[in-house]
Structure 1
Amino acid sequence: MKHTYTITGMTCNGCKASVEKALKGIPEVKNASVDLEASEATVEMSERISINILQKALSDKYTITEKNIFNVRHTSKAEEIPIAIGSELRQLFPLFLIFGYITIASVLLNRNPWDINSFMLDFMGLFYVVFSFFKLLDIKGFPVSFRMYDPLAKVVPVYAWIYPFIEVELGLLFLLRFEIEIALIVTLVILGITTIGVTRVLLDKKTIQCACLGTALKLPMTKATFIENSIMIVMAIIMLVNLN
């Protein structure tokens, strides 16, 4: 029987070779082949292997999730969809949790009296500070993942290295209410560029790791990433309009 899996965290041919070797090392695995561009692994096995066993065989750098099953027992779409959705939601839970905390903190900071403009400034400030923190946890790994989809980072590699520090500075500018207009314009530029890259990945239906929370937390590139950037862009536009 053959199973196809999605693997996030692979960035080069070395990663591909490492994943193939790890999977082939499992006794029940007859053969394993990895497609780096598609972030997929096709595993031929003598008997069904749980996803936990496959994950344990891999380095912590990689996350493996089941994509499809090709064997004599046909699985209906009704059976496959809940598994895929459940897996995706579990992977994105840290992102939703962080967004929730940032939103609650921003509301509490501006609840009495309520000020929507201050709420948006605090939200954007906390967003940048918190997200930059996770990127800086693996400052060496983040640029590699970021260059996989950000158009500017692909052309100017140094941009991927300084991006987390740009986020720190923007976060502080919003929280300190200093040079807000400049911070808003920079936000529109950098998130606009990133959103173009994210949109391309989603339209091409590629499965790669999202670097929004760095590489410490392994998140797949999904519509949630697009929505996250869009929220920040909309807030920046509203704030610029209000300032003028």
Structure 2
Amino acid sequence: MSNIPRAYSYTDIERKEFDVLPFTGIWKDHQGEPERAGSIIIYGGSGHGKTTYGLQFMKYLCGFEKVFYNTPEEGMKASFRRNLKLNGLQYISDKYNFQSEFYDDMVKRLSQKRQPKIVFVDSVQYCFRGKRDTHYFDLIEKFPNTLFVWISQMQKNAPKGSVADAIMWDAQNVIRVQDFKAYIEKTRCGGNETMPYVISQEKANERELKLLKKG
């Protein structure tokens, strides 16, 4: 008969030290204190500010350690450079690197030594093209000390596709972006589920005005 691991007690978990990101200020109020491993997912409709929010979040995380940004959806295009500049990422260019890679190439990269332990992927649908939700769980098991931040397209008011759905159920924080505001829909980190993070006050006001004009 195989040995069965000892069941833990409350005292065991009370004594355990967890590796969390010590967020402060607006980001702590918004997302709480995520662990340095696992997943965070950001989703929303096209043109609502998902990538801008992701880049603002990446800029903040660069204050803790180096970040890898995988952009298979947008790629090395003028629009991506514009987004980097609009969010001030040219001033911390030594704190991150980026590439446009699908799943298999990303796994090869992250398997090399001295790779960043915070990884952004924009988007789930492009990165996992031709893959299944089991590939997501394989990735998380292969890199247990990496924090993945996923940006997902939306379909029927939810992250689009089976892979994004699996990430949503597994994620520490689920963040819906709408009209340039980011709402915490689910949190395991003490995030603020009542007040949204404003991505761009100007664009949020413009979107609100358009909605008012439509009646």
Sort the TM-score into its range (normalised by shorter chain).
under 0.3
More strand by share: 2
TM-score of the pair, normalised by structure 2 = 0.28
More helix by share: 1
Q: Which has the higher contact order (CA 8 A, sep 6+)?
A: 2
TM-score of the pair, normalised by structure 1 = 0.25
